[in-house]
Structure 1
Amino acid sequence: MSATSIVVLALYLALMIGVAAWFSRRSAIRDGGDFIMAGRSLPTFVLGGTLLATFVGSGSIIGGANFVFTNGPLAGIFFFLGTFAAIIVLGFMSRRIRESSFNTVPELLRERYGPATGVIGTVLVLVAFIGIGAYQFTGTGYILSLITPLSEVQGTIIALVLICFLAVSGGLKSVAWTDFLSSALVVLGLGSALVWIFAADFGGIGGYVDQLDPAFRSVTGVLGPLQILGYFLPLFLLILGDQNMHQRIGAAKDAATAFRAILVFFVGALLVVGPIILLASSASILNPGSGPDMAILGLAAGGFVPETLGAVILVAALAIIVTTGSSYLLTCSGNVVYDLVFRPGGRRQREAAADPERARRQEVLISRLSVAGVAVLGYVMVQFFPSLLALQMYAYTMYGAAITPVVIAALFWKRASAAGAIASMIAAGAATVAWEVFGPVEEVASVVVALPISVVVLAAVSLAVPQRARERQGVRVE
């Protein structure tokens, strides 16, 4: 804890709260579309920044750094490689995603396959995303305990209030702009720390390589090829099917803006992932006694960089985790509004058709209340069911294997059917759980098993269901 860190933290919080308050004005948020999708008006760099901040959270600054600290920089490249492969594929998908203009992934599934698929998709999305959002509370609380006299529990409560406020106040408009500012801060902080450590502590790249553990110099570090694949695929699949990503691409001004924003996302990811890999592996040399989770944060808090720079790194890490948390709260509120309350054919939707102005006000109110409700539920999960956090390691697999193939098929494969989508999601979910419980997960990750099953079942069942049967299910076949 230092006065400098507290000053930097106070400046950051003031800026974030100011941005959120500005976008909370009635003129900025007129209906649920403004709240959840930012009125489909986000410009290129803001959209690119919010895509980056959604990807980079505690899973990268803490979890990814842990992986690199433990397994080495080359293995770290494979760990994050799925991210860059997914960003490239998203670039090719961006026009179709923007033109589809769905508010949520279950809405896409419901429109393409039918109501049963939308229900299953809603359950999977909410279960995974509430837990992932809750994990951001604990990450933020931990960093606050490093910067301030607060305990981790107190920091987690403050984190919940801050993250909830950013999401509740101005919806995606405030989240996107705070994401953009936080992304710029984390790029600046990590990049500056990397330059300082390589110049002051290693005397250049040669000194870093010479001191690196020889076990970390092989292509996959201390891991085998199947183990590396098990880390590559979850990030790849999650980003391709992540509702956050699809919502943000849908919130672009137009398809061209969405594509340019993905290019910004790719460059920004390089500027963040590269320093994370090099800093975390540097920590294994300079601070080997550090806990793996503290690989990067320990360099900032342990006096390995100047005090001001350490403060910037800590606050940048906090900033990026806060914005990731607000993104997951916001996207869950979209599921509540569009997949539960205002679902097609429901009472609320019929009332909305009769009184559109009242419905728009209700959408905003319910969106804000659902953000607060999801935040409280996430906090309960953290406090009373801490073992659920262990499930988040395969929550990415559960989402990626069960949802992503079905989403991609909905956008690009006309013969995909409701029966195939439902069978695929159930089979992938069951395979993930079964392998986690009974399989050798240390040697072969569940995603390596669940993904092929998901794809094969989707294709086989879809081809086996006659076209006429799909039409009876009410599925739109283009």
Structure 2
Amino acid sequence: MNYTHIAVLIAYIALMVVIGAWFGRKKATSSGEDFVLAGRSLPAPVIGGTMLATFVGSGSIIGAANFAYTYGLIPGFLFFSGTITGTILLIVLSRRVRGVAGHTVPEMFDKRYGKPVRIAATIMILIAFIGITAYQFTGAGYIISLITPLEESTGAVIAALLITFLALSGGLKSVAWTDFLSAVVIVFALWVSVFFVVGTDVGGLAPLTEVNSDAGVFGGLSALQMLGFILPVLVLLLGDQNMYQRLAAAKSDNAAFWGAVLFCLGSIVMIVPIVLLSVSSALLQPGIEPDMAVLSLSGTQFTPAVIGGALLAGAFALIITTGSSYLLTCSSNVVHDLVGQLSPTKPSDTANLWIGRAAVLGVAILGFVMVNFFPSVLALQMYAYTMYGVTITPVLLAGLFWKRANGAGAMSALLVGAAVTLFWEISGRAAELNSVIVALPASVLALVVVSLLTPPGDARKRSAAIQDSASEVSA
């Protein structure tokens, strides 16, 4: 047990609690709009930081680290190629997204496809995002068990409580600012760790290229299997409701654009050290649990105590804020897409605030239950990313760019994508080939074929209405 690590972690947790409590004041968060979209007031640096910290959480610092540790340097970078491609596309789409984005993605679906698609999409999002929230609990539990004598399961409970508190308190305002702070700290800690681990312990970059090099360019995976790890990240990022909410929360179109640019640059700056450290760990610590590839380098035999403490605290904070973000976005789905649509009377803005907080608590409990059904963070990560990416993303992109897409086609894509993903996971086939390889083509095919075989209805009018609303917001 390293007391320096404990001190750094406690100090960082205390800071996050103070920030959460500050933005949780009635003056700072007094309405549902404040809770979900931060009053549409966020500047570009905070937009970039919160997008980065939201997307690069336990799935990167643990799940992707597991992958790079297992398969090597080139596969490690290829794993993240979907992230970089997605961030570049978000830059292109940022101004348009801010114009059409509302509180949630299903809200956009209602305008484009109708209410039934909105309700179905909400269910798919909740199924996927509860999974993403779940593995944040596990990831943070790992870190607590490294720093303290506590078991991973106990650490996961503590993490779940902190994640839930941050989401309950100030909504997106507290989450966005803690995200920004976490992103700065973890980038600093990762690169300083690279200096000590790669520069001193490993002796440079050359030895890293030898890790698993005899297994070929994909580390022993086939090209199709490699694609199965790249695509889930890409399709999630392109349709991630969190990204759309944060662009919508920007104070202007320019803030949204430059926030997306900072997200892209920040992703590169964060991805490189994660891969380098993971592969270094394979050299220095063969045979350890792959999920711990980066986190285990915080030991004093690899990095100074203060830097190791900052690495663990930054990773912990990154995971905590990612979990808070996904809890928050799930609550907005419950408020606006379920209660708001199914309730006989429209709840007041104050009622929405409290319904959202109750939803945060409910989703946190469900996430804690789900985490027990998957063998590793990487396995749960691939399932959750795929469930979202093959159902929501094709329907979302078709709504933005294909006027012929209609409600029948959208509903077919949602149902087929979810059904194929669940079948592939339950049958055990995902152990050999990730479900995205079969589920994504099936979803897109269902969307295109059903849209073309059914009457277009008012699809084109709905598409035109969305474009008009985007122009009005931009103006």
State the TM-score bracket (shorter-chain normalisation): over 0.9
Report matched runs for 1:59-78 at 5 Å: 59-78=59-78
Q: For residue 301 of structure 2, what is the aligned residue in structure 1?
A: 303
Give the one of 219, 223, 239 matched to 2:237: 239
Aligned length: 464
Aligned to 2:268: 270
* 3-state SS in 1 of match to 2:293: helix
Distance 1:388 1:67 in 2: 11
C-alpha distance in structure 2 between counterparts of 1:301 and 1:144, whole Å? 14
For residues 26-425 of structure 1, the aligned pairs below 5 Å read 26-209=26-209, 212-215=211-214, 218-301=216-299, 303-343=301-341, 346-349=343-346, 352=347, 359-382=348-371, 392-425=381-414
SS at match of 2:326: helix
Cα deviation for residue 189 of structure 1 reads 0.7
| 2:17 partner letter | I
**How many angstroms apart in 1 are the aligned matches of 2:154 and 2:236?**
31
Shift of the 379–258 alpha-carbon distance from structure 1 to 2, 3 Å rule, reads same
**Contact 1:112-1:477 within 8 A present in 2 as well:** no
Cα distance in structure 2, aligned partners of 1:282 and 1:129: 32
Structure 1: which amino acid aligns with 2:151?
S
Report the Cα distance in structure 2 between the residues aligned to 1:441 and 1:129, rounded to whole angstroms.
Answer: 19
- Whether contact under 8 Å (2:136, 2:319) holds in the other structure is yes
1:432 deviates by 2.1
Partner of 2:470: none
Aligned mates of 1:400, 1:241 — CA distance in 2? 7
Post-superposition shift, 1:212?
3.3
**Distance change in 2, residues 1:46/1:280 (3 Å):** same
- The structural deviation recorded for 1:58 is 1.1
Match of 1:430 in 2: 419
Structure 1 residues 302 and 228 mapped into 2: Cα distance closer, same or farther (>3 Å)?
farther
1:285-330 deviation digits (Å, cap 9, x = unpaired): 1111211111111111362111211111111111111011101110
Q: Percent identity?
A: 50
Change (3 A) 1:268 1:391: closer
Check 1:112–1:367 CA distance in 2 against 1; reply closer, same or farther (3 A cut). same
Q: Which amino acid aligns with 1:411?
A: L
Question: 1:442: Cα distance to partner?
Answer: 4.8
Counterpart residue number, 1:356: none
Shift in CA distance, 193/391, structure 1 to aligned 2, threshold 3 Å: closer
Structure-1 separation of matches of 2:389 and 2:12: 34
Listed one character per residue, the Cα deviations across residues 84-109 of structure 1 (whole Å, up to 9, x for unaligned) are 11111111111221001311111111
Give the SS at the match of 1:342.
helix
Amino acid at match of 1:366: I
Q: Is the 8 A contact 2:113 2:406 kept in 1?
A: yes
Does structure 1 conserve the Cα–Cα contact (< 8 Å) formed by 2:35 and 2:353?
yes
TM-fit CA distance, 1:431: 2.2
For structure 1, which runs of at least 5 residues remain unmatched after alignment?
A: 353-358
| Residues in 2 aligned to 1:362 and 1:264: alpha-carbon distance in whole angstroms | 35
Instruction: Say whether the 8 Å CA contact 2:228–2:436 is kept in structure 1.
Output: yes
Asked whether the 8 Å contact 1:41–1:253 carries over to 2, the reply is: yes
1:461 and 1:19, CA in 2 relative to 1: closer, same or farther beyond 3 A? same
Aligned partner letter, 1:212? V
| Alpha-carbon shift at residue 467 of structure 1 (Å) | 3.1
* Counterpart Cα distance in 2 of 1:380 and 1:441: 21
Residue 451 (1) aligns with residue 440 (2): yes
Tell me the alpha carbon deviations over residues 371-425 of structure 1, each in whole angstroms, 9 at most, x when there is no partner: 1222122223346x56797555322112101110001111222211000101111
TM-score for both structures, normalised by structure 2: 0.93
The answer to whether the Cα contact below 8 Å between 2:54 and 2:321 also exists between their aligned partners in 1 is yes
Residues 404 and 459, structure 2, Cα contact 8 Å, conserved in 1: no
| Residue 312 to residue 392, structure 1, CA distance change in 2 (3 Å) | closer
Question: 2 CA distance for matches of 1:158 and 1:438?
Answer: 33
In structure 2, relative to structure 1, the CA distance for the partners of 1:114 and 1:265 (3 Å cut) is same
Give the letter for the 2:298 counterpart. Answer: A
Which amino acid in the other structure matches residue 143 of structure 1? I
Would you say the 8 A contact 2:213–2:219 is kept in 1?
no
C-alpha separation between the residues in 2 aligned to 1:188 and 1:17?
22
Note the C-alpha offset of 1:476: 5.9
How far apart in 2 are the matches of 1:157 and 1:438?
Answer: 30
State the alpha-carbon separation in 1 of the partners of residues 169 and 424 from structure 2.
41
Q: C-alpha displacement at 1:205, in angstroms? A: 2.5
Comparing 45-54 and 408-417, the one that deviates more: 408-417
CA RMSD of aligned residues (A): 2.1
One-letter identity of the residue aligned with 2:410 = A
TM-score (norm 1): 0.92
- Structure 2, unmatched stretches of 5+, are 466-475
Q: Which residue identity is paired with 2:344?
A: R
Check whether the contact 1:43–1:257 (CA below 8 A) recurs between aligned residues. Answer: yes
Distance 1:182 1:74, change over 3 A: same
- Contact (CA 8 Å) 2:62, 2:292: kept in 1 or not? yes
The aligned amino acid for 2:37 is M
Q: CA deviation at 1:196?
A: 1.2
Q: Distance in 2 between matches of 1:424 and 1:160?
A: 33
How far the C-alpha of 1:234 sits from its partner, in A, is 0.4
CA distance in 1, matches of 2:212, 2:383: 29
